[in-house]
Every structure is written in C-alpha cells, then in structure tokens.
Amino acid sequence: MNRARGAFTLVELLVVVAIVAALVGMLLPALSRAQDVARSVSCLSNLRQFNDAAAIYQAKWKGSFPVAYETVVIGAVFVQRSWDYNKRVDWSSGSASYEITPGILWDKIDAPSKIQQCPVYRGESNSPGDPHTGYNYNTSYLGGGDGGVPARITQVKDPAGTAAFGDGEYASGANKYMRSPFSAPQETIAGRHAGTQGYRHAGHANVGFVDGHAEPWSERHTTSYPATEPLIAEGTGFLSADNSLYDLE
C-alpha cells in the first residue's frame, strides 16, 4: 500500500523533533540573558528614582542628605526612623509587634513601593516586616554614619564618583546600610562586611551616584580590616579598595 500523500515517515518526524530541540536549546540561553538584562535595566531605573527622591529631599532640607537611621527607645517601644522604612517595635505585650511605615525618603507615600525591591534579589529583609529589600544607602559618609550629622550636597566634591545607593547584599541578607571598606569619621562599627554590595547582575553591582546617574559596576574589592575580610561573602564586596567611591572627596 502506498504511503498517504503528505504524511511523514518516522525518520522524518524524528529529524524535525531534533531540529526543533536544537533551536530551543539555542534560544533558551539568549532568552535567559535577555531577561537578565531587562531585570538589570529595571534595577537601574529604581536607583535613578532613589536619586530623584534624594534630590527632592535635599531641596526641602537645605541641601542635606537624609539621615541613614536614628533610634529612640521609649519604655517598651523601639522606634527606628530610617531612610527607607520606619520601624516601630512594641514589646509591651511580651512578644514583639512590628509596625512598618515608609521612611524618611518616602514619607509622603501611603503604601510601600516596589521601587525599593531589586528585581533580582530573592533573599529576605534583615528587618522583620519590611515588604521590599535589596538596596542600601551610603551610610558611612552621606547618611551620617552611626547617628551623626548627614552630609550636605555642597560637601561632595565629585558627585559623579560618589556612590549614594546600590545593590546591598551580604552573607545574611541585604543590609540597608552601605559601608565603606574602612570606617568613616562618624562610624564606630568595625565589621564592614554587612554593608557590602551584591554583584548579582551578571557579575555587576548596580550603583546610583550622587549626580543622579546609575550604572553597572564591575570592580569588586574585598580589602578591609583583617577581621572583616574573611566574613565577606562570595559574590559581594566593596566598590573600591579604599573609601574613594564613598567619601566626600
């Protein structure tokens, strides 16, 4: 009996399946890379909006950067006002009750914004109740260190070369406070490893600079105090080998 006109043989079907499989195998990596690029672009857009928010804050407060954090304890209530989220913890009931509200940069926003979530970061926030995470703020020099006075925009001599915000990450999550590899004048914290950047965008860390631009940063440094260096997690690090990408010079 003759084979029906237009029908495929088993061999022909197997060839077609093999060709389709080969094409899919070639396309999937390209699609994955395209997704990675899209997420990185979205992250850079977020950081530019952080820069815009900081500029608005400076216009309102005579050129001052927002304080990184300030803490008040009243009885059984712990209140931390932070650049990202204000956190109120009440222990009066015997167990901690958390209340999270938009922080100093976002105090006019009624609801938390996904702008504050890096689209690549999948870890948990270090602060219970924080809905979004993944970014940190130059606490060492711009935010006043450990409860000190924040810098003013006029003090920054190289705005295009001074980091303001970026992809925060360390071994235990994403600390919201960016730290330079060595202590700034207003800092007492010796362990710098919690304030490192996460190089999670194809080996780059996205950084928003004081002048308003944001870019992927490939340089990753692990130079710090001898006690700190072993604690720096794989894929994380500092933007520069010294404090030059963080300080006001």
Closest-CA residue to 210 (of 246, 247, 249, 162):
162
- Consecutive H or E run containing 86: strand 85-90
Confidence of residue 8 (pLDDT cuts 50, 70, 90): low
Which residues pair with residue 238 across a beta bridge? 221
Distance CA 120, CA 38 (A): 10
CA–CA–CA angle 209, 176, 88 (5° rounding): 135
Q: Helix, strand, coil proportions of the chain in percent (round to 5)?
A: 30, 25, 50
pTM: 0.85
Residue pLDDT, tens place only, 46-63: 999 999 999 999 999 999
pLDDT of residue 1: 47
Residue pLDDT, tens place only, 177-199: 999 999 999 998 878 999 999 99
* First CA to last CA distance, the chain: 88
**Dihedral, CA atoms, 149, 155, 161, 164, nearest 10 degrees?**
30
CA 40 to chain centre: 12
pLDDT of residue 214: 98
Q: Which residue's structure tokens are 């976002």?
A: 106
Distance CA 133, CA 167 (A): 10
Q: What are phi and psi of 98, to 5 degrees?
A: -100, 140
| Contact call for residues 177 and 127 (beta carbons, < 8 A) | no
Closest-CA residue to 153 (of 141, 165, 137, 171):
141
Closest-CA residue to 203 (of 167, 165, 162, 246):
167
Alpha-carbon distance values, 37 to 41, 198, 236 (Å): 6, 16, 19
Q: What strand order describes the sheet that includes 85-90? A: 69-74, 77-82, 85-90, 97-102
Share of the chain above pLDDT 70, in %: 92
Residues 6+ apart with CB under 8 A from 208: 47, 48, 50, 51, 163, 164, 165, 166, 214
- The region of weakest confidence among 97-101, 109-113, 220-224 is 109-113
